[in-house]
């Protein structure tokens, strides 16, 4: 069992490390750079080559049954779900075989709407304390499930 974190823009890296530490789970923080490597003995920081989706490719090639993946990247999540890994978004929402199709379709629809209206402003809502708390609970559950 391993925990893979798509780390470049991940707001819950510390929560991942704390949860993994409680259960003795190996953590791979995968990024293109720009993060400081952790001194924690269970954490390996993986720097992939520059380029689009290189971190995603690295994770997708390795994640499988018994693993947990943390990402906000929906196409990566879909690959990991298909490979049998548990996937959590940064807000604690689980992405599963039952919901990943709808999540992908919504992502694609929103991308089309943004492309059709170049003046469309705004983005997602801010990451909240409630999101962080929900994630902390969700990662504990996911790691305990993977442990079984």
Contact of 55 with 31, CB cutoff 8 Å: yes
Q: Is 17 inside a domain boundary? A: yes
Instruction: Evaluate whether residue 21 is within a structural domain.
Output: yes
In the predicted model, what is the mean pLDDT of the chain? 89
Range of the domain at 32: 2-97+132-147
116 falls within a domain: no
Residue 51 falls inside a structural domain: yes
In a domain, 60, yes or no: yes
pLDDT tens digit sequence for 9-61: 899 999 999 999 999 999 999 998 878 888 999 999 999 988 778 999 999 99
Strands 86-88, 94-95: pairing is antiparallel
pLDDT value at position 124?
A: 65
Q: Flag whether 71 is in a domain.
A: yes
**Can you give the pLDDT at residue 112?**
64
Which domain CATH number covers 19?
Answer: 3.40.50
Mean pLDDT of 125-131: 83
Chain-centroid distance of CA 48 in Å reads 16
78 occurs within a structural domain: yes
Q: What is the mean pLDDT of residues 76-85?
A: 96
Structural domain total, the chain = 1
Question: Which DSSP state fits 69?
Answer: E
* Torsion sign, CA atoms 14, 78, 75, 60: positive
Assessment of whether the complete model's pTM goes beyond 0.85: yes
Judge whether 9 lies within some domain.
Answer: yes
């Amino acid at each position: 069992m391993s925990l893979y974190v798509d780390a470049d823009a991940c707001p819950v890296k510390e929560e991942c490390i704390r949860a993994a530490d409680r259960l003795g789970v190996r953590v791979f923080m995968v990024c293109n750079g720009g993060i400081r490597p952790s001194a924690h003995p269970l954490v390996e920081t993986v720097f992939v080559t520059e380029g689009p989706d290189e971190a995603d490719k690295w994770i997708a090639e390795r994640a499988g049954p018994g693993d947990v993946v943390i990402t906000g990247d929906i196409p990566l999540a879909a690959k990991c779900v298909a490979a049998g890994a548990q996937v959590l978004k940064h807000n604690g929402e689980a992405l599963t075989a039952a919901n990943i199709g709808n999540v992908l379709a919504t992502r694609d629809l929103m991308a089309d709407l943004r492309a059709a209206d170049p003046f469309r402003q705004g983005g997602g809502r801010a990451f909240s304390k409630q999101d962080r708390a929900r994630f902390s609970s969700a990662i504990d559950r996911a790691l305990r499930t993977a442990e079984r």
